[in-house]
């Protein structure tokens, strides 16, 4: 079958893996063994580019561009895979060619990633790595346009009991009531807690009010014998551990 391309041709190595790829023609015009889905099944997902993997989720294009080209558009617009998966439903729906079905599929992937991280932490003998917590929070808070304050609740052996978003605020502030945080810990019968909140429009550096709040919360939690292990502030890709900064 003769292949036609809009721009440069695809290049493949001996495993059928694509090199640096320009815009391709319609996927259905490609030979079967050159289509993303078939190549993934033959050689594994690492052989596909970000755009090709994303195209498998999108499944179809937008009428003027195939799924791969639509994926390229998304990656360029949102700055890569993380940007796409961190975007809100509203911002995704604003892209021509993304309807409810495609957006729902993208949001489902993000939710599955978050649930996988929770499952992994719950199965771990102990939640001891700050990197592990930061990785989870990066997924959990991705795309949140308002401030969220929450907690990872742990038992006496620092195993994860659950995750709670306790307060939802505006774009730049959240009202946090220590009594409600304490109630949440008691509800889980938690022995330790990692608090977290995000700064959707600012820096991940803890503010003076963040430090004051953490001190108040620490005092309240000590009264109910709950140990505050950390308070993590998230802003975009940055996550700052107040424990590592010596702020607890």
In a domain, 246, yes or no: no
Query: Among 195, 237, 201, 204, which residue's Cα sits nearest to residue 85?
Result: 237
**Claim to verify: residue 144 and residue 182 sit in the same structural domain:** yes
User: Which residue range is the domain that position 188 belongs to?
Assistant: 125-241
In a domain, 89, yes or no: yes
Residue with tokens 């038992």: 155
**Helical packing angle, 67-78 and 50-58, nearest 10°:** 120
113 and 130 fall within a common domain:
no
Q: Which of 123, 145, 166 is the last residue of a domain?
A: 123
Query: Of the candidates 148, 223, 229, which has an alpha carbon nearest to the alpha carbon of residue 183?
Result: 223
Asked if 184 contacts 161 with a C-beta cutoff of 8 angstroms, the reply is no
- Domain tally, the chain: 2
Render each residue's pLDDT in the chain as its tens digit; 248 residues.
Answer: 333 333 333 444 444 555 444 444 465 555 555 678 888 888 888 888 999 999 999 988 877 788 889 999 999 999 889 889 888 889 999 999 899 999 999 999 998 988 888 888 777 766 766 788 888 898 888 878 889 999 999 999 999 999 999 998 887 778 899 999 999 999 999 999 999 999 987 788 998 999 999 999 999 999 999 999 999 999 888 899 999 999 88
The reply to whether 119 and 136 lie within a common domain is no
What are the CB-based long-range contacts (under 8 Å, 24+) for 81-84?
A: 81/50, 81/54, 82/142, 82/237, 84/54
Strands 227-235 and 238-241, bridge-based pairing? antiparallel
Kindly state whether residue 248 falls inside one of the protein's structural domains.
Answer: no
User: What CATH number is given to the structural domain containing 179?
Assistant: 3.40.140.10
Are 107 and 144 within one domain?
Answer: no
Q: What is the DSSP letter of 128?
A: -
Residues 114 and 11 in one domain: yes
Claim to verify: residue 106 and residue 142 sit in the same structural domain: no
Residue 97 DSSP one-character state = T
**pTM reported for the whole predicted model:** 0.69
Q: Does 247 fall in a domain?
A: no
Residue 225 in any domain: the answer is: yes
Decide if 7 is inside a domain: yes
| Same-domain pairing of 43 and 93 | yes
């Amino acid at each position: 079958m003769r292949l036609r391309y809009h721009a440069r041709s695809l290049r493949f190595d001996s495993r059928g893996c694509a090199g640096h790829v320009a815009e391709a023609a319609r996927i259905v015009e490609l030979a079967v063994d050159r289509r993303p889905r078939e190549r993934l099944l033959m050689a594994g997902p690492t052989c596909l580019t970000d755009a090709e993997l994303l195209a498998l989720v999108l499944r179809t294009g937008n009428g003027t561009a195939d799924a791969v080209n639509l994926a390229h558009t998304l990656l360029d617009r949102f700055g890569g895979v993380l940007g796409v998966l961190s975007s809100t439903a509203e911002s995704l729906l604003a892209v021509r060619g993304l309807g409810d079905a495609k957006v729902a599929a993208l949001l489902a992937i993000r939710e599955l990633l978050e649930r996988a991280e929770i499952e992994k932490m719950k199965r771990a003998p102990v939640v001891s790595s700050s990197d592990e917590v930061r990785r989870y929070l990066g997924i959990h808070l991705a795309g949140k346009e308002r401030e969220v304050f929450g907690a990872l609740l742990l038992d006496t052996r620092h195993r994860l009991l659950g995750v709670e978003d306790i307060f939802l605020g505006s774009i730049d502030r959240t009202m946090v009531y220590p009594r409600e945080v304490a109630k949440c810990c008691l509800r889980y019968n938690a022995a330790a807690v990692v608090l977290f909140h995000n700064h959707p429009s600012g820096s991940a550096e803890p503010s003076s009010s963040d430090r004051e709040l953490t001190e108040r919360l620490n005092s309240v939690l000590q009264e109910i014998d709950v140990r505050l292990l950390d308070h993590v502030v998230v802003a975009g890709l940055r996550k700052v551990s107040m424990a590592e900064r010596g702020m607890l």
